[in-house]
Structure 1
Amino acid sequence: MKYRTLGKTGFNISEVSLGTWQLGAKWGDPFDPKDARKTLEAAFAAGVNFFDTADIYQDGQSEHAIGEFIKDKADKVFVSTKIGRKLPTQTAAGYTDANIEKWIDACLQNQGVNSLDNVLLHSPDFESYYTPSIFFKLDALQKAGKIKNYGVSVEKVEQGIKALDYNIGSVEIIFNMFRLRPSRLFFKLAQAHNVGILARVPLASGLLTGKYTLGTKFGAQDHRTTNRHGEEFDKGETFSGVDYATGIKAADELKTELGTDNLAAAALRYILMYDAVTSVIPGASNPEQIQRNTTAADLPAFTKAQMAVVNRVYNDYIKNPVEYLW
């Protein structure tokens, strides 16, 4: 495993980290603490030292599992915690000083720590970025020692750019072979502000594993079934906003043109070709998936020809309309 510095936070974190949305469970399935522990142990053994969670993941069980796991590793790992999605609707008015502190206190209790390593606003609405009191409250909590660093998890590039006006240390943004727009301008701006980039949804909800077909069935509660058109939250969170059938065609072409049957590993390695990216955050629900994800960092660098393949497939299949929406 290799490590990169997460912007002004100074954290030296693994190039491949662990997203814990589905920790100890598949999407929509019950949470299993034993599977969660095994997955966390496998990640740590593979060199992963950065774990991404949220107060709403598995209704707080993800945080509890991580908190138990890090009890004897607090000086060896970093945990990034997202807050704000407990609001019934995302509005700047909901990010009151009282709510922010209440969410932070709950996370501290869930994880059993005195200070949170990194706090990210969890995809707030546009108005929140034009409400400086939200960020000033985070500044105050940082000075008080309840949080060490803070940043934002965004849906759109413009939100990430606006967030650079504040004292953020990191931005979590969707970036993958099917979502290339962040690399056009935002990466350079983030680097200029010494802000680390965390690449989320790196496999486009599994499309970039190259294992799905038109006949693939997902669980009834799985967001890949229930949110394809944005019925529950931003459509861009599911398959990166890519039409499912189109994504299947594009993934198949990538496998053929890149000459690989392991598209998932290649997709993760592709993201790490960008120096602005500090870490890529694939999810995992079992140790086997950890092995698949972490070996990606050891793959050879993409050649110019391979980079051109990804760009061509993106332009042919994905750019319109994805690039213009996020």
Structure 2
Amino acid sequence: MKTRTLGNTDFKISEVGLGCWQLGGDFGPIERSNVDAIFNAAQEAKINFYDTADVYGAGQSETYVGEHTQGLANKPYIATKYGRGAGTYPDGYSLTDLRDSLKRAQDRLQTDCIDLIQLHCIPTEVMQRGEIFDWLRTVQQEKHIQYFGASVETVEEGLICAQHDDLSSLQVIFNIFRQKLVEELLPIADEKDIGIIARLPLASGLLSGKFKPDTQFDKTDHRNFNKDGEAFNVGETFAGIPFVKGVELAERVKELTPEGYTTAQMAMRWILDHPAVTTIIPGASRAEQVLENAKVSELPSLPQSLHEELKAFYQNEVAAHIRGVY
């Protein structure tokens, strides 16, 4: 497993991290034995970056991460989030609320200082006002956190956050179906030494190439209840593309997959080929998926000709189908 330095931090994190949204049950029920197997596979693969949030399973994901990482000789870096909890979103933001939220997260994660806290898709106007970044600096000085970043929905929000020179990271939706960032945001992040954490690298599983138009998801899975944006930002599920259309487009991607790669591995390798990206954070519902994802770090970069083909594919066949502002 190769590592890259996360922005202006001293964290050398694995190119493939572990997204922990699914551990809260938001992709359907998950057994504790399966959670343990996923964590053990991450250790085996030398994945040292876990991404979670206080609202994943109402704190359950953070609790699992905290329990797993206690006593490890080589403890992974843990990134969590603030800003979507009840009483906070959309207009309950304050220094006191932030501090109290962090203390609860510290208890669940079993740590006195959180490695990286990220604003969690908060309203654009709250970012624009700017005082929330001063609050982050305050809790950083109080040693509740080591570094701070932001998870955003749009290029505009990323550019607002990037104006703060002490921002360490931006977590963004970035995959073959969502390429707008290449021209507008990644160069700024690279220039300002802001680490890019790419979430939804497989567009909620579409880019695995394994879904069919009649694929069914558990009733508690966000891919069932949020596929048209009923519960939260439409772009967080299937990259904002209508499911059936996404399956059709994924078949086209599958046709472009070179020998030696699965379609999922090609999709993730495509992201890592962008030097501004620090890590990708695919989720995994099984230990085997963790190990398959981890192999991407060792795969060779894709040919430039394939990058050009995928760029044209996005521009000509994908972009017009993306719903929501991004």
- Fold conserved between structures, TM > 0.5: yes
Which residue identity does 2:83 align to in structure 1? G
Q: Tell me which residue corresponds to 2:212.
A: 213
Which residue identity does 1:141 align to in structure 2? V
SS at 2:223 equivalent:
helix
In the aligned structure 2, how far is the partner of 1:85 from the partner of 1:232?
12
Query: Structure 1 32/24 Cα, relative in aligned 2: closer, same or farther at 3 Å?
Result: farther
Query: Structure 1 216/88 Cα, relative in aligned 2: closer, same or farther at 3 Å?
Result: farther
Task: Return the offset for 1:322.
Answer: 2.6
Q: Are 2:304 and 1:304 equivalent residues in the alignment?
A: yes
Task: Return the offset for 1:26.
Answer: 6.9
Deviation track 1:250-278 (CA, whole Å, cap 9, x = no partner) reads 11111112346721111111100000000
Task: Return the offset for 1:199.
Answer: 0.2
Query: Structure 1 158/26 Cα, relative in aligned 2: closer, same or farther at 3 Å?
Result: closer
Identify unmatched segments of 5+ residues in structure 1: none
Task: Return the offset for 1:28.
Answer: 2.5
Deviation track 1:177-235 (CA, whole Å, cap 9, x = no partner) reads 00001111211101111110000011000100000111111112221111122100000
Query: Structure 1 74/198 Cα, relative in aligned 2: closer, same or farther at 3 Å?
Result: farther
SS at 1:54 equivalent:
coil
Q: Tell me which residue corresponds to 2:315.
A: 315
Deviation track 1:279-305 (CA, whole Å, cap 9, x = no partner) reads 001001221110121111222211011
Q: Tell me which residue corresponds to 1:39.
A: 38
Q: TM-score, normalised by structure 2?
A: 0.95
Q: Tell me which residue corresponds to 1:16.
A: 16
CA contact (8 A) 2:240 2:324 kept: no
The 5-angstrom pairing of residues 144-223 of structure 1 reads 144-166=142-164, 167-223=166-222
SS at 1:121 equivalent:
strand
RMSD: 1.7
Identical amino acids, percent of aligned pairs? 36
Count of aligned residue pairs for this structure pair: 324
CA contact (8 A) 2:39 2:68 kept: yes
CA contact (8 A) 1:25 1:35 kept: no
CA contact (8 A) 2:25 2:220 kept: no
Q: Tell me which residue corresponds to 2:283.
A: 283
SS at 2:228 equivalent:
coil
Q: Tell me which residue corresponds to 1:133.
A: 131
Q: Tell me which residue corresponds to 1:243.
A: 242
Task: Return the offset for 1:95.
Answer: 1.2
The 5-angstrom pairing of residues 36-75 of structure 1 reads 36-73=35-72
Q: Are 2:93 and 1:95 equivalent residues in the alignment?
A: yes
In the aligned structure 1, how far is the partner of 2:75 from the partner of 2:109?
15
In the aligned structure 1, how far is the partner of 2:248 from the partner of 2:262?
16
Q: Tell me which residue corresponds to 1:84.
A: 83
SS at 1:23 equivalent:
helix
CA contact (8 A) 2:234 2:324 kept: no
Query: Structure 1 113/300 Cα, relative in aligned 2: closer, same or farther at 3 Å?
Result: same
Task: Return the offset for 1:88.
Answer: 5.5
In the aligned structure 2, how far is the partner of 1:264 from the partner of 1:321?
21
Deviation track 1:107-128 (CA, whole Å, cap 9, x = no partner) reads 0010111100000011001111
Task: Return the offset for 1:74.
Answer: 6.9
Task: Return the offset for 1:248.
Answer: 1.4
Task: Return the offset for 1:97.
Answer: 1.1
CA contact (8 A) 1:26 1:285 kept: no
Which residue identity does 1:101 align to in structure 2? R
CA contact (8 A) 1:250 1:313 kept: no
SS at 1:168 equivalent:
coil
Which residue identity does 1:136 align to in structure 2? D
In the aligned structure 2, how far is the partner of 1:272 from the partner of 1:323?
25
SS at 2:245 equivalent:
helix
Q: Tell me which residue corresponds to 2:273.
A: 273
Query: Structure 1 317/243 Cα, relative in aligned 2: closer, same or farther at 3 Å?
Result: farther
Query: Structure 1 191/85 Cα, relative in aligned 2: closer, same or farther at 3 Å?
Result: same
Q: Tell me which residue corresponds to 1:232.
A: 231
Which residue identity does 2:51 align to in structure 1? D
Task: Return the offset for 1:25.
Answer: 5.0
Identify unmatched segments of 5+ residues in structure 2: none
SS at 1:199 equivalent:
strand
Which residue identity does 1:44 align to in structure 2? Q
